[in-house]
């Protein structure tokens, strides 16, 4: 399995060298997307990732720093299918599920996309609502969703955290959360825990996790807040003083094998 960090920034003003949140997980010849922040399709393509491997897309919530790149990602798939020999054939008329907490937002994306050439016959994208439990299970890969409190108690089913399992491994993506407690049921055990810092201090997250007894292999910070954006080395040192070398700060266009 390989994790690709396309964008690692939270919803700040534009930051040099950083784009908003998007991560893909490759399992064999299939690629799963988690959030689709600005430019994610472009970044994935220039990193050399195979967009024709796109199997499913999971959106944590519909804030712009998690979904701003979705129209362009779909447009890019359509463009590659029309321009790159064999790309459309490899998509093979695939139905790509888009799990999204507010499916009506996809209507707006479709309206925008219809403004161009229309959809490609090489693939279709179907919006599906998120709910707690296993959303996707196919050929040895499964993805579970759990609602969180990022948008407050009045809208608990508008924001989700995710867990992917494949090849005997588990990967957890917090999305945006009120606290680690929101998505604790997804954690144990996992190989990689991806936690956002746009709303949290790294040392508090590390201390909470140390005290909680949760079993995770590596902790990777994503969706960086201002402290990491200003001083990644200093924040990493703080985090490692609590949890040691199992903590990492993801950078844009970084890939890791697990
Ligand atoms: Zn965010
Ligand atoms: Zn958000």
164 pLDDT more than 90: yes
Distance between CA atoms of residues 51 and 254, nearest Å: 17
For the chain, what is the domain count? 1
116 pLDDT more than 90: no
State the distance from the centre of ligand 2 to the C-alpha of 178, rounded, in angstroms: 10
State the distance from the centre of ligand 2 to the C-alpha of 81, rounded, in angstroms: 32
State the distance from the centre of ligand 1 to the C-alpha of 203, rounded, in angstroms: 19
Q: What is the CA radius of gyration of the chain?
A: 17
At residue 156, the pLDDT reads: 85
Q: pLDDT digit string (tens) for 166-202?
A: 999 999 999 999 999 999 999 999 999 999 999 999 9
Mean pLDDT score of the chain: 96
State the distance from the centre of ligand 2 to the C-alpha of 151, rounded, in angstroms: 7
- Reading the block at residue 30, the tokens are 């299939």
Find the ligand nearest to 12 CA: 1
Find the ligand nearest to 37 CA: 1
Distance between CA atoms of residues 62 and 37, nearest Å: 10
Q: Which residues on neighbouring strands pair with residue 193, listed in sequence order? A: 172, 219
* Structural domain harbouring 253: 2-257
Length in residues, the chain: 258
Verdict on whether the full-model pTM lies above 0.75: yes
- CATH, residue 197: 3.60.15.10
At residue 160, the pLDDT reads: 98
DSSP one-letter code for 20: B
- Reading the block at residue 239, the tokens are 């985090």
Q: pLDDT digit string (tens) for 202-256?
A: 999 999 999 999 999 999 999 999 999 999 999 999 999 999 999 999 999 999 9
At residue 117, the pLDDT reads: 66
């Amino acid at each position: 399995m390989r994790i690709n960090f396309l964008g690692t920034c939270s919803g700040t003003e534009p930051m040099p060298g950083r784009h908003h949140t998007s991560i893909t997980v490759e399992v064999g010849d299939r690629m799963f997307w988690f959030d689709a922040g600005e430019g994610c399709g472009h970044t994935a393509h220039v990193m050399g990732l195979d967009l024709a491997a796109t199997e499913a897309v999971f959106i944590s919530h519909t804030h712009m720093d998690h979904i701003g790149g979705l129209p362009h990602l779909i447009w890019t798939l359509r463009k590659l299918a029309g321009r790159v020999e064999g790309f459309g054939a490899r998509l093979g008329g695939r139905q790509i599920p888009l799990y999204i907490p507010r499916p009506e937002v996809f209507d707006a994306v479709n309206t925008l996309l219809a403004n161009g050439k229309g959809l490609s016959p090489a693939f279709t994208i179907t919006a599906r609502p998120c709910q707690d439990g296993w959303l996707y299970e196919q050929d040895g890969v499964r993805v579970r969703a759990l609602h969180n409190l990022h948008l407050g108690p009045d809208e608990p089913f508008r924001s989700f955290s995710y867990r992917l399992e494949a090849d005997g491994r588990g990967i957890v993506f917090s999305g945006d959360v009120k606290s680690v407690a929101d998505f604790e049921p997804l954690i144990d055990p996992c190989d990689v825990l991806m936690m956002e810092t746009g709303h949290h201090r790294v040392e508090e997250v590390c201390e909470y996790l140390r005290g909680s007894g949760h079993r995770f292999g590596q902790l990777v910070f994503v969706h960086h807040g201002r402290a990491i954006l200003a001083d990644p080395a200093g924040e990493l040192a703080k985090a490692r003083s609590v949890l040691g070398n199992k903590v990492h700060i993801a950078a844009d266009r970084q890939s890791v094998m697990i």
